[in-house]
């Protein structure tokens, strides 16, 4: 018999645009049914959740989501595993595959996550690496669909550091008809191969945009260059001046955690145009839909 390879979710490009829209629709159904309706898709299944880096929204949403679908979350830290004492990623993958139905991993190495998936016989979900954050992009798509009814034809302006969140947003947008424009200074911009329009002008980026998106300027691992990054990215702050160049109905998005006064001003983050808190909640619903898709079909 031919062995069936598991579905993985590593860079977000593994799922077609049509399937992504269906998945987002399912996430909306799960949101509407919570908390009255429980789930049974993961009954009898355990999900390993390996966090080598700090996490708030990702860890809690996966842990709660697994439980609400009837499964059992097994939360692990890198320092608690034999990985920290030299056991290979490949062997860890082989062993975890014998115990659990899926593996969720947040890692400082994208290559390690790819290797984990290559040697796993169960689905592997990227919960953040330095290159991609595809689970965040799922919640972003759900938030956009909630606000505008349809994804196709929307424009999202990502302003600031061209990082893993921007890259995943570009991938997800290209699959679902969302135009993503990334405004970043030289040295902070995404590579030209990414499916997004790239510019150094934040005002040009937000013109005609349906959503303006930001992220922190100093991510995990960037602490040593924090002062330089803040100086270089200061013209890309999301504030009232930048919003004045967008449409009146333009919403503001941020993946959190936020540093009010740096990449976004407090009045914008907490203002009436902010969709940030819906984004955060949607991590739960989108990831529940993802787990259902990867494990049930």
Instruction: Tell me the C-alpha distance between 140 and 173, whole Å.
Output: 10
Q: Based on the domain organization, do 54 and 81 belong to the same domain?
A: yes
Q: Is residue 289 part of a domain?
A: yes
Q: Based on the domain organization, do 176 and 253 belong to the same domain?
A: yes
Question: Model confidence over 249-263: pLDDT tens digits?
Answer: 999 999 999 999 999
The boundaries of the domain holding residue 175 are 135-280
pLDDT-derived band at 222 (thresholds 50, 70, 90) equals confident
Told to judge if 283 belongs to the known catalytic residues of this protein, a careful annotator would answer yes
Tokens at 18, concatenated: 């049509």
**Of 101, 122, 119, which is closest to residue 111 (Cα–Cα)?**
119
Catalytic residue among 11, 136, 140, 142: 136
pLDDT surpassing 70 at residue 38: no
Q: Based on the domain organization, do 151 and 120 belong to the same domain?
A: no
Told to judge if 215 belongs to the known catalytic residues of this protein, a careful annotator would answer yes
> CA of 195: how far to CAs of 55, 99, 153, 154, in Å?
27, 37, 15, 15
Q: Based on the domain organization, do 144 and 275 belong to the same domain?
A: yes
User: Which residue has tokens 């030289």?
Assistant: 186
Told to judge if 7 belongs to the known catalytic residues of this protein, a careful annotator would answer no
pLDDT at 82: 81
Question: Model confidence over 61-120: pLDDT tens digits?
Answer: 999 999 999 999 999 987 788 876 779 999 999 999 999 999 999 999 999 999 999 999
Catalytic residue among 106, 237, 254, 285: 106
Q: Based on the domain organization, do 173 and 104 belong to the same domain?
A: no
Instruction: Tell me the C-alpha distance between 141 and 21, whole Å.
Output: 8
Work out the mean pLDDT of the chain and round it to a whole number.
Answer: 95
Q: Based on the domain organization, do 165 and 263 belong to the same domain?
A: yes
Tokens at 233, concatenated: 């990215």
pLDDT surpassing 90 at residue 219: no
Q: Based on the domain organization, do 255 and 290 belong to the same domain?
A: no
Told to judge if 259 belongs to the known catalytic residues of this protein, a careful annotator would answer no
Q: How many domains does the chain have?
A: 2
Q: Based on the domain organization, do 165 and 182 belong to the same domain?
A: yes
Instruction: Tell me the C-alpha distance between 157 and 183, whole Å.
Output: 7
Catalytic residue among 26, 57, 133, 285: 133
* Beta strand residue intervals within 71-141, DSSP E: 72-77, 102-106, 124-126
The answer to whether the CB of 235 falls within 8 A of the CB of 258 is no
Catalytic residue among 31, 167, 283, 285: 283
Q: Based on the domain organization, do 108 and 172 belong to the same domain?
A: no
Q: Based on the domain organization, do 178 and 288 belong to the same domain?
A: no
Catalytic residue among 215, 229, 237, 279: 215
Task: Indicate the Cα dihedral angle 35, 36, 40, 41, nearest 10°.
Answer: -50
Q: Based on the domain organization, do 141 and 122 belong to the same domain?
A: no
CATH number, domain with residue 116: 3.40.50.1370
Instruction: Tell me the C-alpha distance between 145 and 157, whole Å.
Output: 16
β-partners of residue 252 are: 212, 274
Q: Between 224 and 173, whose confidence is greater?
A: 173
Told to judge if 248 belongs to the known catalytic residues of this protein, a careful annotator would answer no
Told to judge if 150 belongs to the known catalytic residues of this protein, a careful annotator would answer no
């Amino acid at each position: 018999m031919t062995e069936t390879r598991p579905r993985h979710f590593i860079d977000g490009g593994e799922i077609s645009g049509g399937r992504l829209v269906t998945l987002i629709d399912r996430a909306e159904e799960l949101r509407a049914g919570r908390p009255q309706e429980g789930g049974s898709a993961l009954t009898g299944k355990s999900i390993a959740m390996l966090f080598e880096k700090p996490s708030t929204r990702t860890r809690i949403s996966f842990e709660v989501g697994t439980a609400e679908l009837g499964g059992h979350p097994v939360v692990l830290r890198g320092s608690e595993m034999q990985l920290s004492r030299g056991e290979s990623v490949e062997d860890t993958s082989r062993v975890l595959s014998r115990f659990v139905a899926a593996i969720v991993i947040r890692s400082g190495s994208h290559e390690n996550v790819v290797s984990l998936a290559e040697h796993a016989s169960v689905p592997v979900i990227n919960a953040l690496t330095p290159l991609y954050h595809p689970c965040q992009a799922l919640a972003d798509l759900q938030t956009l669909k909630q606000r505008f009814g349809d994804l196709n034809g929307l424009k999202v302006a990502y302003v600031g550091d061209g990082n893993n969140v921007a890259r995943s947003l570009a991938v997800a947008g290209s699959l679902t008809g969302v135009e993503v424009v990334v405004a970043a200074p030289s040295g902070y911009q995404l590579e030209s191969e990414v499916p997004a329009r790239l510019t150094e002008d934040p005002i040009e980026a937000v013109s005609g945009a349906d959503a303006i998106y930001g992220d922190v300027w100093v991510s995990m691992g960037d602490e040593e260059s924090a002062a330089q990054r803040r100086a270089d990215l200061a013209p890309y702050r999301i504030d009232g001046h930048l919003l004045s160049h967008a449409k009146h109905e333009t919403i503001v998005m941020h993946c959190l955690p936020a540093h009010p006064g740096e990449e976004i001003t407090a009045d914008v983050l907490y203002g009436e145009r902010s969709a940030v808190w819906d984004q955060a909640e949607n991590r739960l619903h989108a990831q529940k839909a993802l787990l259902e898709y990867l494990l049930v079909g």
